[in-house]
Chains A and B, each alone.
Chain A
Amino acid sequence: DQQVKQNSPSLSVQEGRISILNCDYTNSMFDYFLWYKKYPAEGPTFLISISSIKDKNEDGRFTVFLNKSAKHLSLHIVPSQPGDSAVYFCAARRISNFGNEKLTFGTGTRLTIIP
């Protein structure tokens, strides 16, 4: 049961253009949504988050949009830079009845920025 889905395994974007990465989820109990970035042979690093009560969060070149009715979020990177080439994981947080935090990850989208 894949509760967080990233349907595009890869994406190529010209340097300077906008990169848009998409993510869909099924569980209405998620209260935070996150994006992590991963370079080869490294662990994922946190990029940006959004609370389920918001519809937009911006941090520099990165903006995450949340559409709760569609159970969809997207990450916009503008302008895209070569250093943005990485795998991007969408993740969602749920707090259990015991107060424990659990993240569910998507399978990632490999973003390649073309110089």
Chain B
Amino acid sequence: DTAVSQTPKYLVTQMGNDKSIKCEQNLGHDTMYWYKQDSKKFLKIMFSYNNKELIINETVPNRFSPKSPDKAHLNLHINSLELGDSAVYFCASSQAGGRTYNEQFFGPGTRLTVL
């Protein structure tokens, strides 16, 4: 019973195309995230949603648009794909911790390759 799932696992596409990655969590968490792991292995936060509202939006090109239809889903849509978008994208979820740290649960990742 997968806690955080992402589809697809692999995505190969041409430059200029538009693609989406879907994420779902069945943990009842109120916060979801998108991370990007680039070729240098940096794992960086892109977006964070709490109760369907955007709360963190790092310096990400506006070609990237997250959409949260409900608390259990956070999808990532990417327009006009560029070579530099090739990376592994991880979705994660957690219960907002406040004073304490509540672990973030990560999905298995989506490897995006732009040709």
Interface string of B71-97 (1 = CB under 8 A from A): 000000000000000000010101011
Interface residues on A, range: 20 to 34
B66 on the interface (CB 8 Å rule)? Answer: no
A62 on the interface (CB 8 Å rule)? Answer: no
A-B contact pairs, 20 of them (CB 8 A): A32-B101, A34-B103, A43-B4, A43-B106, A44-B106, A46-B103, A49-B103, A89-B43, A95-B98, A96-B56, A100-B55, A101-B48, A101-B96, A101-B97, A102-B56, A103-B104, A105-B43, A107-B42, A108-B41, A108-B43
Choose one: B98, B101, B107; the contact of A34 (CB below 8 Å): B101
Interface residues of B (CB under 8 A from A): 4, 31, 40-45, 48, 50, 55-56, 90, 92, 94, 96-98, 101, 103-109
Q: How far is the CA of A106 from the CA of B90 in the complex (A)?
A: 15
Interface string of A68-86 (1 = CB under 8 A from B): 0000000000000000000
- Judging by beta carbons under 8 Å apart, are A107 and B101 in contact? no
Q: Could you say which residues of chain B place their CB within 8 Å of the CB of A100?
A: 48, 50, 55-56
- Judging by beta carbons under 8 Å apart, are A41 and B108 in contact? yes
Q: How far is the CA of A105 from the CA of B98 in the complex (A)?
A: 19
Q: Could you say which residues of chain B place their CB within 8 Å of the CB of A95?
A: 98
- Beyond A43-B90, A100-B50, A100-B55, 18 additional pairs, beta carbon < 8 A: A34-B101, A43-B4, A43-B92, A43-B106, A44-B43, A44-B90, A44-B106, A45-B106, A46-B104, A49-B103, A51-B101, A89-B43, A95-B98, A101-B31, A101-B48, A103-B104, A105-B42, A108-B43
